[in-house]
A and B are shown apart, each in its own frame.
Chain A
Amino acid sequence: MSTKTTNQKAWFLVAPVVVLVAFNAIIPLMTVVNYSVQETFGDNLFFFEGMKWFEEVLSSERFHDSLLRQLRFTFIILAIEVPLGVAIALAMPRKGFWASVCLVLMSMPLLIPWNVVGAMWNIFALPEIGLLGKTLNSMGFDYNFTRQPFAAWVTLIAMDVWHWTSLVVLLSYAGLSSIPDAYYQAARIDGASAWAVFRYIQLPKLKHVLTIAVLLRFMDSFNIYTEPFVLTGGGPGNSTTLLSLDLVKIALGQFDLGPAAAMSLIYFLIILLFSWIFYTVMTRGENN
Chain B
Amino acid sequence: MSTRRAANFKWVVPFIYILFLMLPIYWLLNMSFKNTNEILGTFSLFPQEFTLDNYKAIFTDPTWYNGYINSLIYVCMNTVISVSFALPAAYAFSRYRFLGDKHLFFWLLTNRMAPAAVFALPFFQLYSAMNLFDTHVAVALAHCLFNIPLAVWILEGFMSGVPKELDETAYIDGYPFWKFFAKIFLPTIAAGIGVAAFFCFMFSWVELLLAKTLTSVEAKPIAAVMTRTASSSGYELGLLAAAGALTMVPGAIVIFFVRNYIAKGFALGRV
Q: Mark each residue of chain A from 1 to 31: 1 if its CB lies under 8 Å from any CB of chain B, else 0.
A: 1101111111101101110110111011101
Identify the stretch in A54-62, A72-80, A102-110, A139-147 within 8 Å (CB) of chain B at 4 or more residues.
A102-110
Q: Which of A233-284 contact B (CB under 8 A)?
A: 243-244, 247-248, 251-252, 257, 264, 267-268, 271-272, 275
The CA of A267 and the CA of B114, in the complex, are separated in Å by: 9
Tell me the interface secondary structure of chain A in the complex. Answer: helix
The CA of A133 and the CA of B111, in the complex, are separated in Å by: 38
A91 at the interface (CB under 8 A from B): yes
Q: Are A28 and B123 in contact (CB under 8 A)?
A: yes
Q: Are A100 and B259 in contact (CB under 8 A)?
A: yes
Q: Are A16 and B18 in contact (CB under 8 A)?
A: no
Q: Are B118 and A103 in contact (CB under 8 A)?
A: no
Residue from A31, A106, A120, A124 within 8 A of B18 (CB atoms): A106
What chain A residues lie within 8 Å of B152 (beta carbons)? 17
Q: Are B13 and A108 in contact (CB under 8 A)?
A: no
Give the size range of A's interface with the partner. 35 or more
Q: Which of B74-112 contact A (CB under 8 A)?
A: 81, 85-86, 88-89, 91-93, 95-99, 101, 104, 108-112
CB distance from B191 to the nearest CB of A (A): 11
CB distance from B31 to the nearest CB of A (A): 6
A68 at the interface (CB under 8 A from B): no
Q: Mark each residue of chain A from 128 to 170: 1 if its CB lies under 8 Å from any CB of chain B, else 0.
A: 1111101000000000000000000000000000100110011
B202 at the interface (CB under 8 A from A): yes
Identify which of B86, B126, B262 gathers the most chain A CB atoms within 10 Å of its CB: B262
Residue from A5, A108, A109, A244 within 8 A of B117 (CB atoms): A244
Residue from B21, B145, B163 within 8 A of A105 (CB atoms): B21
The CA of A279 and the CA of B112, in the complex, are separated in Å by: 14
Q: Are B116 and A113 in contact (CB under 8 A)?
A: no
What chain A residues lie within 8 Å of B123 (beta carbons)? 24, 28
Q: Are A111 and B263 in contact (CB under 8 A)?
A: no
Q: Mark each residue of chain A from 188 to 209: 1 if its CB lies under 8 Å from any CB of chain B, else 0.
A: 1001111001000000000011
Sample of 6 further A-B pairs with CB below 8 A, known A21-B149, A102-B18, A193-B1: A23-B141, A104-B259, A131-B45, A226-B209, A230-B227, A275-B110
Q: Which residues on B are within 8 Å of A, measured CB to CB?
A: 1-2, 6, 10-14, 17-18, 20-25, 27-28, 31, 39-40, 43, 45, 81, 85-86, 88-89, 91-93, 95-99, 101, 104, 108-123, 125-126, 141-142, 144-145, 148-149, 152-153, 160, 163-164, 202, 205-209, 222-223, 226-227, 230, 237, 240-241, 244, 247-248, 250-252, 254-256, 259-260, 262-263, 266-268, 270-271
Q: Which residues on A are within 8 Å of B, measured CB to CB?
A: 1-2, 4-11, 13-14, 16-18, 20-21, 23-25, 27-29, 31-32, 87-88, 91-93, 95, 98-100, 102-116, 119-121, 123-124, 128-132, 134, 162, 165-166, 169-171, 173-174, 177-178, 187-188, 191-194, 197, 208-209, 212, 219, 222-223, 225-226, 230, 243-244, 247-248, 251-252, 257, 264, 267-268, 271-272, 275
